[in-house]
Chain A
Amino acid sequence: MQRLIYMDRAATTPVSPGVLEVMLPYFSQKYGNPSSVYSLAQEARQAIEAGRQTCAEVLGASPREVIFDSGGTESDNTAIKGAAFALQEQGKHIITSAIEHHAVLETCHYLEKFGFEVTYLPVDKHGLVKVEDGEKAITDKTTLITIMLANNEVGTIEPIAEIGQVVKQARKKLPNLVFHIDAVQGAGALDLNVDKLGVDMLSLAAHKFYGPKGMGLLYVRRGVPFISQQRGGSQERNRRAGTENVPGIVGMAEALRLAEEKRSAYVEHCSKLRDRLIRGIASIEQSFLTGHPVLRLANNASFCFKYVEGESILLSLDFEGVAASSGSACTSASLEASHVLTAMGIPEEVAHSSIRFTLGWDNTEEDVDYVLRILPGIVKRLRAMSPLAAEAKKNV
């Protein structure tokens, strides 16, 4: 059987062997409940605190500011609801963007049912939020701004540090204004230092950087108003109840340490492959790059191939051993075209033709060249079947 060429790193990554190795003892040997007093349990407790220290160092934070949880979705939910409810006496206005992950957008929609008002900032054709738009949207009722560090579909990197400056200025009038970022796609590719970014809360998911699934963290800056969402025991300093996922924490910490250590090499490796892929695909007619040409994640190459539907390209790529992703409605249960692409002004019928390749450590130049060899034929075959392509030809 041919080797799988995995180009869907933004969906998930394999757990790297080194990460798996450090996790394994915490399943069946050092399995104690960290809240217990005996030494078996204290081994687990120490592992958690060592992991917290590691994660805090990568973020430039204090270990007390790191809350372990089940992943990016929980982190986003907890951050947004936690801050919004804690500050609702002061105001019920939240600012976010139109291209956030559903974990953020659906949480905002949920809060709208509780009387919160949400401003969804537009983006330009490259998927960039304008800092001035964010600045103008702030009212005396604004309590929370939540923007993603980098977009999961098109890879555009948002001007977080600049928005952080705006928030800093705004705090002169609104001392409790909270700035949260969903940094899920940024780990391993971008600097996550919370002071440089100027953020109060930050979400991460371990499985996006060669760590385990079901594991994430939320950074909450000391003093930020926050109401715990998951109630129960006093774990995580009363901020997230539930017995800790000890192997998950150990694995995420190691994965994050490695991601940060190898960050510049990773960016170099991926961006070289990404640019090779982008250059090659440019020769396929009626196709275009989506997202920002420069301000984009090192591993993200996303495109639209007009007149062909994304899922049918994905299935065809899968037959040839290539795993990629699409913003087409047909690949989701929602039956709607990608909200990210439509917010960027791409018509829905074109958004259905989107394909995202996200590269990783295991990809090589040969992989990219293989994709470039098979993709033109796939697009050509599907276009030959497409009534839209036939119509477009007649109208020329």
Chain B
Amino acid sequence: MYSPLVMEHFRNPRNVGELPDADGVGQVGNPVCGDVMKMMIKVAEDRIADIKFQTFGCGAAIATSSIATEMVKGKTLEEAMELSNKAVAEALGGLPATKMHCSNLAADGIHKAIEDYKSKRETKKA
């Protein structure tokens, strides 16, 4: 059902936890559907200096969250905004078809966290 890499990330998720002083937070998904992802980022010099996630969901949801955080850590915000859900799934060696829609939201979560950071920065400036 799952690729070995999915299982590896599920067993040893990277960057799991909370960032209490996060600069941006993005939560996607819905508990009713069985998947919720929360992405938290620290931003320094327009780059993702640190990122943590919390995920309620199946193996695919946890593995995509984990690998997505690895893919954007240290990247510029612009580069991170270009990450797609599809690229995350591909990096894991693919996902079962039924998981592509509901459990593959990590990139969306990261984008939302970046947008949250930007809007907070705007508010501060104003």
Contact = CB atoms under 8 A, between A and B. Distances in A.
Interface in A262-318: 307-312, 315
Given A315-B10, A390-B18, A385 B62 contact: yes
Contact of A386 (B33, B56, B98, B99): B56
B93 interface: no
Interface in A308-363: 308-312, 315, 319, 328-331, 333, 335, 337, 347-349, 352
Interface string B7-43: 1001101001010000000010001111111100000
By DSSP majority rule, is chain B's interface helix, strand, loop, or mixed?
mixed
Contacts of A331: 58
> Chain A: interface residue count, which band?
20 to 34
B58 A328 contact: yes
B98 A385 contact: no
A388 interface: yes
> Chain B: interface residue count, which band?
20 to 34
Interface string B53-70: 011111111100000000
Given A312-B62, A330-B34, A335 B98 contact: yes
Interface of B: 7, 10-11, 13, 16, 18, 27, 31-38, 54-62, 98-99, 101-103
Interface of A: 307-312, 315, 319, 328-331, 333, 335, 337, 347-349, 352, 384-390
Given A309-B34, A387-B27, A388-B56, 19 more contacts: A308-B56, A309-B56, A312-B58, A315-B59, A329-B102, A330-B59, A330-B60, A330-B102, A348-B33, A352-B31, A384-B16, A385-B54, A386-B36, A386-B54, A386-B55, A387-B36, A387-B38, A390-B18, A390-B54
